[in-house]
Amino acid sequence: MTDIKSMTLEELEQEMEKLGEKKFRARQIYSWMHEKLADRFEDMTDLSVALRKKLAENYVLTRLEPVKIQTSRIDGTSKLLFRLSDGNAIESVLMKYHHGNSVCISSQVGCRMGCRFCASTLDGLERGLTPSEMLDQIYQIQKWSGERVHNVVVMGTGEPLDNYEALLRFLKLLTCEGGLHISQRNVTVSTCGIVPRIRQLADEKLQITLALSLHASSQEKRRSLMPVANKYSLSEVLDACRYYYEQTGRRITFEYSLVGGVNDSAEDAQELARLVKPLHGHVNLIPVNPIKERDYVQSKHEAVVGFKNKLEKSGINVTIRREIGRDIDGACGQLRKSYMDTEK
């Protein structure tokens, strides 16, 4: 059956005409799905019983089932594990800040990028998520928390640009009128550096923030941490970021996971500053969350602060990401992996 929640309003209008219904029914259904966040056709009470029956017979209304929720006692961050209709599982995170609630969502079931410090990639890629599965992570979290989501980060399990067409449709549904209507400027999409897709995304001229998972200041170190660097060199990735900035006017965020004794030296900081300064970017330092399947360790606090100071002295805009969810399987993919391992 057709995935109705992934349809645009215009597509839904065409579907209603095919069913012999008035065009305005599409807007009613669209509102039920994307504003009132209805999970079932039978909840759409201003539609006739006959139309609700037709919808149930012809379309599937995606609903993710929360199967596990962990809430940090340290900072109130919540990680939610959702079961999909095919039995797979994905995870999302609700982070509460003074400026509003942010949700970090997954874009794929698993990941094939193979980044060495990431739990998401340990079992490889199962499949990409549909636009409705991406949306419903946000919808279910908003319903569960009873609070509006203000910011969305596509930085959970998966490589968003490896699920490009679904990502674009998701962004359109998320930010257009008639739904949650979250501003494009409040949406961040992360990538490990798929160069052709970065350039393609730049040509869309959206106003979202692009976050590049950089994690190393040399091609050699990046290749040891991130297999994608074997396909796209550091210079190619940075050229694509420059193009993105030129096309959109949006400043790039460079994500840099600090791994103790690997990429956290004073020389690493100096080289990183040299690379990103011409790009007018912002560096977000991330003390890496340890995962038991890898032997990487988090940089010591003094090393993190020293790295930040070195960048600032070079004129780089830099922040240290607040550690969240350390007590709740905080690293990306940890909760899903522990759940799937018990289900096998």
Q: Determine the Cα–Cα distance for residues 70 and 80; give it in Å rounded to an integer.
A: 7
Q: Which residue among 41, 60, 79 closes a domain?
A: 60
| pLDDT for the residue numbered 296 | 73
Q: Are residues 129 and 21 in the same domain?
A: no
Q: Are residues 34 and 173 in the same domain?
A: no
DSSP assigned state of 142: H
Q: Determine the Cα–Cα distance for residues 311 and 270; give it in Å rounded to an integer.
A: 7
Q: Determine the Cα–Cα distance for residues 144 and 166; give it in Å rounded to an integer.
A: 25
SS3 158: coil
Token reading at 195: 């160069």
Quote the number of domains for the chain: 2
Find the CATH number of the domain harbouring 54.
1.10.150.530
| pLDDT for the residue numbered 289 | 73
Q: Determine the Cα–Cα distance for residues 71 and 74; give it in Å rounded to an integer.
A: 9
| pLDDT for the residue numbered 291 | 61
Angle between helices 131-145 and 164-175 (to 10 degrees): 40
DSSP strand pairing (65-71 vs 78-83): antiparallel
Q: Are residues 87 and 171 in the same domain?
A: yes
Tell me the backbone φ, ψ of residue 129, rounded to 5 degrees: -85, 150
| pLDDT for the residue numbered 66 | 97
Q: Determine the Cα–Cα distance for residues 147 and 118; give it in Å rounded to an integer.
A: 30
Non-local (6+) Cβ contacts of 249 within 8 A are: none
**Residue 45: other Cβ atoms inside 10 A:** 9
Q: Are residues 104 and 36 in the same domain?
A: no
Domain containing 192 equals 65-343
**Residue 342: other Cβ atoms inside 10 A:** 7
DSSP assigned state of 259: B
Do residues 131 and 4 make contact, with C-beta atoms less than 8 angstroms apart?
no
Beta strands in 30-88 (DSSP E): 59-60, 65-71, 78-83
pTM: 0.93
DSSP strand pairing (149-154 vs 187-191): parallel
| pLDDT for the residue numbered 228 | 95
Q: Are residues 253 and 190 in the same domain?
A: yes
Q: Are residues 298 and 166 in the same domain?
A: yes
Q: Are residues 97 and 189 in the same domain?
A: yes
Q: Are residues 209 and 278 in the same domain?
A: yes
Q: Are residues 105 and 202 in the same domain?
A: yes
Q: Which residue among 60, 79, 106 closes a domain?
A: 60
Find the CATH number of the domain harbouring 291.
3.20.20.70
The label of the residue with tokens 């399987």 reads 329
| pLDDT for the residue numbered 123 | 87
Q: Which residue among 36, 60, 84 closes a domain?
A: 60
Give me the active site residues, please: 91, 332
**Residue 247: other Cβ atoms inside 10 A:** 15
pLDDT values of the chain reduced to their tens digit, one per residue, 344 residues: 999 999 999 999 999 999 999 999 999 999 999 999 999 999 999 999 999 999 999 999 999 999 999 998 888 899 999 999 999 999 999 998 888 999 999 999 999 999 988 888 888 999 999 999 999 999 999 999 999 999 999 999 999 999 999 999 999 999 999 999 999 999 999 999 999 999 999 999 999 999 999 999 999 999 999 999 999 999 999 999 999 999 999 999 999 999 888 899 999 999 999 999 999 899 999 987 766 556 677 888 899 999 999 999 999 999 998 766 666 665 555 666 565 556 55
Q: Are residues 162 and 125 in the same domain?
A: yes
Q: Are residues 82 and 127 in the same domain?
A: yes
Identify which of 115, 79, 106, 82 has the alpha carbon closest to the alpha carbon of residue 94: 79
| pLDDT for the residue numbered 339 | 59
Q: Are residues 56 and 91 in the same domain?
A: no
The label of the residue with tokens 């994905």 reads 90
